[in-house]
Amino acid sequence: MIYTKICEMLKIKYPIFQGGMAQISDSGLAAAVSQAGGLGIIASGNNPPEAIRDEIHKIRELTDKPFGVNVMLLSPYAEEVSQMLIEEKVPVIVTGAGNPGKYMKRWKEAGIKVIPVAPSVAFAKHFEKAGADAVICEGTEAGGHVGELTTMCITPQVVDSVNIPVVAAGGIGDGRGIAAAFCLGASGVQVGTRFVLAKECKAHQNYKEKIKKAGDTDTAVTGRKTGHPVRVLKNKLVTQFKELEKNNASIEEMEALGRGRLYMAAVEGNVDYGSVMSGQIAGLVYKEQACRDIIREMFEEAERIMKNLGLMAGGSNE
Ligand code: TUI
C-alpha cells in the first residue's frame, strides 16, 4: 500500500490526481476517479460559473468522496468561478496557467485546500508563502498548456525548496512513472492522458483513438511565440500553426487559429483540425479501462517496482 502525506491531507486512498483537462474532465470522469480512491478533478476551462456549478452538483450526486475543481486562470470567468467555488465549499481547488495569489486568502478562509501548479522553484516558494497546501510540478512532457522544465528536473528542485507536499505531473502514464515520481521526492502524481482513455471519460472516440495510435514523437508544442505554449498531437492544425510561425505571423493571427479548437477535437471529434491536447506519454497509453482498473494497475506496478528497488539497493557494488 502506498500511502503518503497527500493521502492524509486530502483523505484519499491513492496519491493520484486526475488532471483537470478542459472540455474533457467532467463530473462523470472525476466521480469515477474519486470513487476509485484517487482525487477526481472537474476542469473549469473557459466555462462560465453556472456550468461548473452544475458539474459540482452532479459529482455530489455520484460520490461522497473528496474531489477537486481546477481553475484555469487564463479564463475570462476566473474571478466569478473563484467566488462560486467558495459558495459551493468545494474540498480542493487546483489552479493552472497563472498565479492564483489574489484568490488564495479567500479560498483558505473558506477552508478549501488549495493546490496550484507551480512552473518554477520561485513560484512554488511564493505559493507556499501565500498559503498553498501543496504544489503540483507539471513538466513540459504534459499535454495542454506547458512550461519549460521537465518533470525530472523541476520536481526534486521544488521538493528541496518547500515544506509542503509536491505532486509530480507530466509524463506519468504507468506504475514506472509513479515510482519515478516518488524517487524524485513527490508525495503524489497527477495523470491526464491516461485518463482520457478511461471508460468513464466522455471525450470523443476519435480523440481517444488518436491517443491510442500515437507514438513517442507524435506531440508538438504550438504557440510558444504567443506566450501560451500548448502540447498537442500533430495533425493538420499543427501544420497550419507551424506555417504561421515560419511566416512570423502576428500573435493575434495565431490566437485566432487556436480559438475553439479544443471543443472541435474533444467534443466534435475533428482530430485533423481540432486541438488534440495530449502528453508525450501518449506513446504508451493504449488501453481503454475503467478508472478503478487504471488506478489499481498503476499502483500495483509501482509497488512491485519499489520493492525491487529495495532489493537492488541491498546489493553490493564491490
Ligand atoms: O493549465 C494547464 N494546462 C492546460 S490549461 C488548458 S486550456 C488552454 N487552452 C488554450 C490556451 C491556453 C490554455 C490546457 N491545458 N496546466 C497547468 C500549468 N500551469 N502549466 C503551466 C502552468 C503555469 C504557468 C505559469 C502556472 C503558473 C504560472 O505562473 C506564471 C505567471 O507568470 O503567472
Distance 146 CA to ligand 1 centre (A): 6
Radius of gyration of the chain (CA): 19
CA distances from 139 to 41, 97, 124 (A): 19, 13, 14
- Domains in the chain and their CATH numbers? 5-202+287-308 (3.20.20.70), 205-281 (no CATH)
> Which of 10, 77, 86, 88 lies closest to 55 in space, CA to CA?
88
* Strand boundaries in 157-229, DSSP class E: 166-169, 188-191, 219-222
The pTM (predicted TM-score) of the whole model is 0.97
Tracing cell 468522496 back to the chain, one arrives at: 65
What confidence score (pLDDT) does residue 225 get? Answer: 81
For the Cβ of 228 lying below 6 angstroms from any atom of ligand 1, the answer is: yes
Taking the C-alpha atoms of residue 292 and residue 318, their distance in angstroms, rounded to an integer, is: 44
Distance 187 CA to ligand 1 centre (A): 22
Taking the C-alpha atoms of residue 126 and residue 120, their distance in angstroms, rounded to an integer, is: 10
Taking the C-alpha atoms of residue 298 and residue 209, their distance in angstroms, rounded to an integer, is: 21
Amino acid at 78: A
Give the model confidence (pLDDT) of 51-70 as tens digits. Answer: 999 999 999 999 999 999 99
What confidence score (pLDDT) does residue 53 get? Answer: 98
For the Cβ of 74 lying below 6 angstroms from any atom of ligand 1, the answer is: yes
What confidence score (pLDDT) does residue 157 get? Answer: 98
Instruction: Report, as an integer, the average pLDDT of 122-130.
Output: 98
What confidence score (pLDDT) does residue 310 get? Answer: 82
For the Cβ of 72 lying below 6 angstroms from any atom of ligand 1, the answer is: yes
For the Cβ of 126 lying below 6 angstroms from any atom of ligand 1, the answer is: no
What confidence score (pLDDT) does residue 293 get? Answer: 98
For the Cβ of 22 lying below 6 angstroms from any atom of ligand 1, the answer is: yes
Amino acid at 91: P
First to last CA, the chain: 33
Atom 3 in ligand 1: residue holding the nearest Cα = 145
Atom 20 in ligand 1: residue holding the nearest Cα = 146
Please, which pLDDT band fits residue 312 given cuts at 50, 70 and 90?
Answer: confident
Report phi then psi at 221, rounded to 5. -105, 120
For the Cβ of 94 lying below 6 angstroms from any atom of ligand 1, the answer is: no
What confidence score (pLDDT) does residue 193 get? Answer: 98
